[in-house]
Amino acid sequence: MAAPAQPKKIVAPTVSQINAEFVTQLACKYWAPHIKKKSPFDIKVIEEIYEKEIVKSRFAIRKIMLLEFSQYLENYLWMNYSPEMSSKAYLMSICCMVNEKFRENVPAWETFKKKPDHFPFFFKCILTAALAETDGEFSLHEQTVLLLFLDHCFNSLEVDLIRSQVQQLISLPMWMGLQPARLELELKKTPKLRKCWNLIKKNDEKMNPEAREQAYQERRFLSQLIQKFISVLKSVPLSEPVTMDKVHYCERFIELAIDLEALLPTRRWFNTILDDSHLLVHCYLSNLVRREEDGHLFSQLLDMLKFYTGFEINDQTGNALTENEMTTIHYDRITSLQRAAFAHFPELYDFALSNVAEVDTRESLVKFFGPLSSNTLHEVASYLCLLPTLPKNEDTSFDKEFLLELLFRPLYSIECYMFNFNIIFYTVEKYLTVSLLKRISDFDSLTYICQDTVICCLMPHVGVQERNLEVCAHKAVLETIRNLMNTDYPSSEHYSKMPPQIATLDFNDTFLSIEHLKASFPGHNVKVTVDDPALQIPPFRITFPVRSGKGKKRKDASGEDDDTEEAKTLIVEPHVIPNRGPYPYNQPKRNTIQFTHTQIEAIRAGMQPGLTMVVGPPGTGKTDVAVQIISNIYHNFPEQRTRYCYSFQSDIDERHLLRLGHGEEELETEKDFSRYGRVNYVLARRIELLEEVKRLQKSLGVPGDASYTCETAGYFFLYQVMSRWEEYISKVKNKSSTLPDVAEISTFFPFHEYFANAPQPIFKGRSYEEDMEIAEGCFRHIKKIFTQLEEFRASELLRSGLDRSKYLLVKEAKIIAMTCTHAALKRHDLVKLGFKYDNILMEEAAQILEIETFIPLLLQNPQDGFSRLKRWIMIGDHHQLPPVIKNMAFQKYSNMEQSLFTRFVRVGVPTVDLDAQGRARASLCNLYNWRYKNLGNLPHVQLLPEFSTANAGLLYDFQLINVEDFQGVGESEPNPYFYQNLGEAEYVVALFMYMCLLGYPADKISILTTYNGQKHLIRDIINRRCGNNPLIGRPNKVTTVDRFQGQQNDYILLSLVRTRAVGHLRDVRRLVVAMSRARLGLYIFARVSLFQNCFELTPAFSQLTARPLHLHIIPAEPFPTTRKNGESPPQEVQIVKNMPQMANYVYNMYLHLIRTTHHYHQAFLQLPPAMVEEGEEMPSQETELETEEAMAAPDDIIPSPTDASCSQEPPATQPDTTTAVPSVCQVSTARPASPQAQAATPQDTTLEETQ
């Protein structure tokens, strides 16, 4: 069997090809954004482009890509569109551009949002064109393009502009396309719809004839489109050649029908229209299904449509139908037909008197209905409201095959074919099970098997039919899918809509002061329970007003709500944390972050039961909010357990922290939070606490070995420590008859000797209450020792590390961190252990697949039929990169890259949007804050010196540097999709070395790129240039933008690589990530002429191109500098025009630095190799240096590190021929060739200098 043909790769046109195209020439004349003087609008240009570039090329993707990339839609088509100019070429051009944007996965409706006035008229023109005759003005190929455009519209219901037009096509009035009997039947099923239908008819009577006719056309649009499709389908011959335009039209229409059936808002009305048109019956009896090659994809799509039309869900309510409800529907259909047969069709008496189990199969139906005539079959179908009533003395126009199929399809169960669907409907477990059963059924071996023997005889169960196990299993899968479909309001799970709201919450150390608390609740009246300002200090307990949500609001005489003031009143109660002991480490850690009011709202929502979604733009403190939510839940509900994904530093006892799975190495901490790391911590902590018990025993003068085990320590606490404490309390307690004596608290205190190593004096002697609180704090310290030992006692009884880790997971840990992947891998083991949790917090939720997000919710079994889960907090940013899906079919067609977080935001689940960033300079924030609603800056971004000070040695805090071809080469592709750009890589490394030579710490600089090939190339250059040089070193990270998401650094050097096509940076989410990684400086290396014309990148690149496109440096300004950002430097500013000039300057700068350092005269040095052209003499500076050290300089020649060969890693078996010379300093830089030697072959020489 031949392997399937691989899909042809769509190659993006290069810049040179773009410039040579006729479209580009027209764009430069009429609509290119960089052209200042444009020619006036001319509709003939649109006609010419459509006929010569689109139609003549048969809608070639390459031609459409050129038009779309030139911003044809944004700057010419829609900007100048008006109803007077709505020609065929105009409409089709707009549709082609929108379809191309969806193909490239870039936002398509932003242009229409900016100018929405003419969109309704444009949409109506599209509807008219879609129903036009195929042999008329619009060809079948063009109408296929229109179908694709309509499909994109129906899948964009979240866009208000689109939804307002689509709702006129799909709503209850569209049922006027049903036959009258079927309409009456549907309205009878749902009485509520009859009232709405009567109201619609009354409103139609009030409309003028023209508006009424327009409304009728819109309501009948889909019904007419279905009839047109059926006519095209019937025109396909069985064996004669067929044009692919017809096949593609049929495939696109079925795809549109699938999308309408899969969406609940559209399925509610469209499913009835589709069923009444008998489209599936026409399709399965068509010639296209029988054509093996041409109809293969059509048949697959048809099976998918058949699956969705029979999906077990109530179309009107959206509720999943149970097995009993589906059985009832099936029985009602059979029995209603049997009653009709008994009353009106004597020839069907046998059918009418049979039980349902005997007549609900296809074979039995053929037996009963096959002998009937076509007219009789038509009458039966009309009684079932499948066809209109047949007039008397007239023969039916339908053939017998169609009538039989029409009758059989709704009568017998569809479960027989549901199990044989394509594997896309299987779960992984189902697929493996089916595969195993198939292997078992195909078992063919010579192994001897014993003969059949009769075990016993049973009475036959007449009329009882056993259920197919395959059907049972698949039905369970369908029920699970149905139950996962949300048919309620998106906001129903928000804490404000859930009844068990918690009125009073302890915010612990969230607020820094009472002023911070008041600023965090703008518009609220804050009432503090204490009047003394000195006592109004954190921590605070806040009581929020909780509305019952029942009954009507009372209004006073003025008409205002009586509870408005009460609803905005917060009762704040300051409270004092009990003294934990006299040692400094006993004091709790305090939060030092002044949260904004939106962050406080996110923290409050996270503490309440229900679903909380926090959208956090870059630098807005998503992790800080997550840490505070976890800390507050830990202190408010110490008995609850929480799942989390990241490490954090907060006032949480280490023994309650646990991390499962890999990722410990990414935490950048010396502490081990893994299972065995926590076991080792418990064992080590146990020994430390037993030593404290031993010291306490010695201080009290108690004989014996109380610190031998946790059990003996417990007895010691009970009989020795508690007895002394109770005796002490009885002596010093406040007696009502006498005044308390402060000195007695210190005099009778029994643990003076134990606390001798604490800061003295322990008791201040100022007041009875203060000293008594100190004494109780000391006892709390002692009691905590024995409480922890009691918890650690299980580690003495359990001997193996595995048992100890399981106990720690199930019983001890309160904060359990694991990745969603680990949860999926270990779900069975965790459920088997009885793992329980109450809260889930997912950070970076927008980067997690839907199924990976859902699995962690199922790591525990329900208790008494109810889930123990109380809170689900999701924190992420759907404007940044989604999960990585390598299969392009799943990513594009199935939209598998959409995370559950993004889906919730899209359907309208309430979110808390953090709106203030504190990571980057305000100027850097402007490069990406346009993507968010109201993203501003925190005050410290303007006030702190590091943000207000300029970047030393660089004129601008961010700059776009244009990089032209180096040695005649721009981007290269040594392997498929392995893009590299040698010029940009050398330029980036040269700037990195320049910054390090000025004094920038290398770990404060990260180098990012958009492709893996460029990442490896930059790493190779760094290894050859400066990797082992102690004066320069290596940057903090050299990685891709995708890998660096969620991280940051002070200075980012970004290489965009591409010079032929923009590539995947057109995804605005990737652009946002790239622009938001830097705190203080961002320097981008790119081909400006390519990227500045990309419409999606315009908001960022318009700011970047406003500054000079050549690198501006200030070599005389060392790091750090006192110059303010934006000020003109007193030193000379030098302009670097290209990469060789920068490499040459860094080379000379390094030589000058070496000569002026003390190490130059005391250590062995290896000078950097110069990139010298043949026939070129070295500059005088280098000649002098060679003369001085001529005796020590070797003449070894090594391969050029700037050669393209360094873009590929050498084979593992190839030896390294480069001679390694021990040296203190090793650096390699590239020097540009002189103009006289440009044609010569460049070589790199290694210069070694020793003294």
pLDDT score of 331:
84
Residue 549 pLDDT: 47
DSSP letters, 847-880, are GS-HHHHHGGGGSS--BTTB----EEEEEE-TTS
> Residue 714: enclosing H or E segment and its boundaries?
helix 710-716
Q: What is the pLDDT of residue 2?
A: 40
Closest by Cα among 848, 874, 877, 851 to 1070: 877
Distances (CA, A) of 1199 to 547, 1206, 1243, 1245: 77, 10, 7, 8
| Tokens representing residue 178 in the block | 């049903």
Global model pTM greater than 0.85: no
Coil, strand or helix at 113: helix
Coil, helix or strand at residue 631: helix
Q: Which three-class secondary structure state does DSSP give residue 1083?
A: strand
pLDDT score of 1198: 29
What pLDDT does residue 452 have?
Answer: 53
Tell me how far the alpha carbon of residue 401 is from its chain's centroid. 50
Structure confidence at residue 154 (pLDDT): 93
- Is-same-fold flag (492-546+566-656+814-913; 920-1160)? yes
Bridge partners, residue 1081, by sequence: 1051
DSSP label of 1056: -
Contact 313, 486 (CB under 8 A): no
Confidence (pLDDT) at 1017:
96
Bridge-based pairing of strands 971-975 and 958-962 is unpaired
Which pLDDT score, from 0 to 100, does residue 580 have? 87
Q: Which residues of 487-496 are buried (b: 16+ CB within 10 A; e: fewer)?
A: eeeeeebbbe
CA 318 to chain CA mean position, Å: 27
d(CA 755, CA 108): 71
- Where do we find the tokens 């004066």? 1031
Supply φ then ψ for residue 339, to 5 degrees.
-65, -40
Query: What pLDDT score does 32 carry?
Result: 82
How close are the terminal C-alpha atoms of the chain, in Å?
72
Residue 960's pLDDT is 96
| Domain covering 492-546+566-656+814-913: architecture | 3-Layer(aba) Sandwich (3.40)
For 749, the token pair is: 């205190």
Say if CB 636 and CB 607 are below 8 A apart. Answer: yes
Question: What would the two tokens of residue 432 be?
Answer: 């493996």
Nearest to 949 by CA among 1120, 698, 1086: 1120
Residues of the chain with pLDDT under 70: 1-21, 410-494, 499-500, 547-567, 643-678, 734-739, 824, 865, 1158-1251
Q: Give the phi and the psi of residue 937 in degrees, each rounded to 5.
A: -125, 145
Cβ partners under 8 Å of residue 609, min gap 6: 495, 498, 500, 501, 502, 870, 871
Q: Structure tokens of 307?
A: 């699956």
Task: Give me the amino acid identity at 1217.
Answer: T
Helix axes 323-344, 374-383, angle to 10 degrees: 130
* pLDDT the model gives residue 678: 66
What tokens appear for 1123 in the block?
């110059």
Q: In angstroms, how far is CA 419 from the centroid of its own chain?
A: 33
At 737 the pLDDT is 58
> What six digits make up the tokens of 1249?
């200098």
Determine the Cα–Cα distance for residues 382 and 391; give it in Å rounded to an integer. 11
- Cis bond upstream, residue 40 (ω within 30): no
Give the count of beta carbons closer than 10 Å to the beta carbon of residue 1232: 19
User: Could you write out the three-class secondary structure of 370-394?
Assistant: CCCCHHHHHHHHHHCCCCCCCCCCC
Please give the CATH superfamily to which domain 920-1160 belongs: P-loop containing nucleotide triphosphate hydrolases (3.40.50.300)
Q: Using an 8 Å Cβ cutoff, are 49 and 67 in contact?
A: yes
Task: Show me where the domains of the chain are located.
Answer: 12-108, 116-320, 323-414, 492-546+566-656+814-913, 678-806, 920-1160
